[in-house]
Amino acid sequence: MSTKTGASVQLIRNATVLVNVGDATFLIDPIFSPAGENPPVSNSPNDRRNPLVPMPDVDLSYDAVVVTHRHPDHWDEAAKAELDDEVPLFCQPSEADAFAEEGVADVRPVDDEASFAGVAVHRTPGRHGHGELAEEMGPVSGFVFEADETVYVAGDTIWYEPVEETLDRFDPDLVVLNGGEAQFEQGDPITMGIEDVSAVRDATDATVVVVHMEAINHCLLTREELRSATEDVHVPEDGERIDL
């Protein structure tokens, strides 16, 4: 078991992050495929193969895995093959059977709240886009990790009322947002863009970190564009760690 003090988040690549809170380290949304291993997300103006970039050289030590949803840019074949099947995996209840069928021995669906190593794990709402497209994208979740400090990993969501309500309810110290303004040829973005991130920044005193950028072909907002258009927001490079 990890024995770290002070909450932190380390970006691995895309939405794959290591969250340290309390005495535990959670690996969120692992994708381990080599660069170019997978086809592009279809119906996107950018047809490059995924992931766009290789994995950074980092120490992947963790105590539990959390998957916000099973889209292939959050849970891929390489992760299925490489992760220890005995490590606890927290997920949405609707996706628990799929993980069990893949051989994960310790699947822990979170209805509302669970606990692990003294950390309260809350599942929170998300909306993966706007209107009918959000319905087609299927259910997504965020997670709040609550110990001496509180970390909110929002997952693939836009800014909408339940995100604001989550910020009000938990008053997190650290917020991790999925940016990139992912989108298709038609329809509005399905992850946060500049306006969404700015809305979160205005709604909380927490440290705000934005990931999910420059790694998957349909994420069109660049790090530099986001940095230039926002203030007091951390936009880490792959492998970079942000400590409270």
- Per-residue pLDDT tens over the stretch 168-199: 999 999 999 999 999 999 899 999 999 999 99
Percent of the chain with pLDDT strictly greater than 70 = 98
pLDDT at position 16: 98
What was the pLDDT predicted at 2? Answer: 40
Structural tokens at position 105: 């021995």
pLDDT-above-90 percentage for the chain: 93
Query: What is the value of pTM for the model shown?
Result: 0.96
pLDDT at 5: 55
Fold of the domain built from segment(s) 8-236: Metallo-beta-lactamase; Chain A (3.60.15)
Q: What is the pLDDT of residue 45?
A: 86
Per-residue pLDDT tens digits for 90-106? 999 999 999 999 999 99
Residue 78 has a pLDDT of 97
Mean pLDDT confidence for 210-215: 98
